[in-house]
Amino acid sequence: MKIDLTGKTALVTGSTQGIGLAIARSLAASGARVAVNGRSRDRVDEAVATLDGDVVGVAADVADAAGAQALAAELPHIDILVNNLGIFGAVPAREITDDQWRSYFEVNVLAAARLIRHYLPGMVDRGWGRVLQIASDSAIVIPEEMIHYGVSKTALLALSRGFAKDASGTGVTVNSVIAGPTHTAGVEDFVYQLVDKSLPWEQAQREFMRLHRPQSLIERLIEPEEIANMVTYLASPLASATTGGALRVDGGYVDAILP
Tens-place pLDDT, residues 202-229: 999 999 999 999 999 999 999 999 999 9
Handedness of CA 133, 44, 126, 229 (dihedral sign): negative
Residues of the chain falling short of pLDDT 70: none
Distance CA 214, CA 204 (A): 14
Per-domain boundaries in the chain = 9-182+223-249, 184-221
CA angle 193, 196, 198 (to 5 degrees): 115
The pLDDT of residue 241 is 98
Instruction: Work out the number of other CB atoms within 10 angstroms of the CB of residue 46.
Output: 15
The pLDDT of residue 187 is 86
Q: Provide the annotated active-site residues.
A: 149
The pLDDT of residue 185 is 81
The pLDDT of residue 184 is 87
Collapsing DSSP states into helix, strand and coil, what is residue 218? coil
DSSP codes joined into one string, 148-167: HHHHHHHHHHHHHHHHHHHT
CA angle 149, 150, 155 (to 5 degrees): 100
Distance CA 240, CA 115 (A): 21
The pLDDT of residue 8 is 98
Cβ-contact 119, 78 below 8 angstroms? yes
Q: Which amino acid is at 100?
A: Q
The pLDDT of residue 71 is 97
Describe the crossing of helices 111-126 and 65-74 by its angle, rounded to 10 degrees.
Answer: 30
CATH architecture of 9-182+223-249: 3-Layer(aba) Sandwich (3.40)
CA angle 180, 87, 25 (to 5 degrees): 65
Residues 6+ apart with CB under 8 A from 232: 3, 5, 23, 26, 27, 30
Residues 6+ apart with CB under 8 A from 241: none
Write the DSSP symbol of residue 238: G
pTM, whole model, 2 decimals? 0.95
What burial letters (b/e) apply to 74-93, b meaning 16+ CB within 10 Å? ebeebbbbbbbbbebeeeee
Compute CA distances 244 → 163, 174, 239, whole Å.
Answer: 8, 6, 12
The pLDDT of residue 1 is 83
Cβ-contact 85, 136 below 8 angstroms? no
The pLDDT of residue 190 is 83
